[in-house]
Amino acid sequence: MFYQLNWPTDGKYAECYPENPAYVYDGVERCPFCQRIVEGKHWAHPRTLRITNSRYADFLFTTPYPAVSERFKRLYEASGLTGILSFDPIENYRLRKNAPDSPRYFTIKSIRSKMKIDYTHSDITWLSPHEHRCDLCDPFGRCISDIKKSTLYDSNYDGSDVFRLYETGDATYLSEDFVKFVKENHLTNLGLRPLPDMQQRIIIR
């Protein structure tokens, strides 16, 4: 079973936002088949993160990145889980007045899997067709608007616990072992959408 990382919306923990960010195309990932860019621009250094309140968690959410705590980083690196290629540090923090110091946070980069969506057994809403088409990153020549149900072909699954697909940009997918690891270590504020039923919402406290 797989899960898609999702932004918790119940407001229990702080949210975060890049403060006056600069975004660059340097090093962005491209589809190996058609060379089309398959991820958003990178948040350039030095980076400042605005955190909305002092209810700090191990996962803080912003667009397009989740920020993960140094505690998560340490536990993940000792866990034997796979898929995260790098932890990119956030250097500066803008906090509420009189708030205690926040944990140190990082953005992550995960592998790009060649697993593909099984469209026959999925329920997807599409935007209008466009000229580009690629068997790996854009097989129907359309952008996805909404996914109610998503099933993946697992023939190309390499066992990674954190990964992205060429077809779905920056969306991050997680294995059942990863979710178990989060629960066992009492890591906080992980939002999930289980596959195949993408209309469900789960929040791990």
- Partners of residue 42 on adjacent β-strands: 24
Tokens of 87: 């932890």
What is the reported pLDDT for 198?
87
Tell me the per-residue pLDDT of 3-42, one tens digit each, with 9 for 90 and over.
Answer: 999 988 778 999 999 999 999 999 999 999 999 999 999 9
| pLDDT at position 103 | 96
Q: What is the pTM of this model?
A: 0.93
Residue with tokens 């990153």: 137
> Are 42 and 26 contacting, i.e. CB atoms less than 8 angstroms apart?
yes
Q: What is the pLDDT of residues 47-88, one digit of tens each?
A: 999 999 999 999 998 766 789 999 999 999 999 999 999 999
Say whether 148 sits in a helix, a strand or coil.
strand
How far apart are alpha carbons 11 and 27 in whole angstroms? Answer: 34
Of 110, 120, 125, 124, which Cα lies nearest the Cα of 175? 110
CB distance 48 to 92 below 8 Å = yes
Count CB atoms within 10 A of the CB of residue 58: 23
State mean pLDDT over 139-145.
Answer: 86
Greater confidence (130 vs 186) lies with: 186
- Are 156 and 135 contacting, i.e. CB atoms less than 8 angstroms apart? no
Residues paired with 124 in a beta bridge = 147
Q: Flag whether pLDDT at 46 surpasses 70.
A: yes
Average pLDDT, the chain: 93
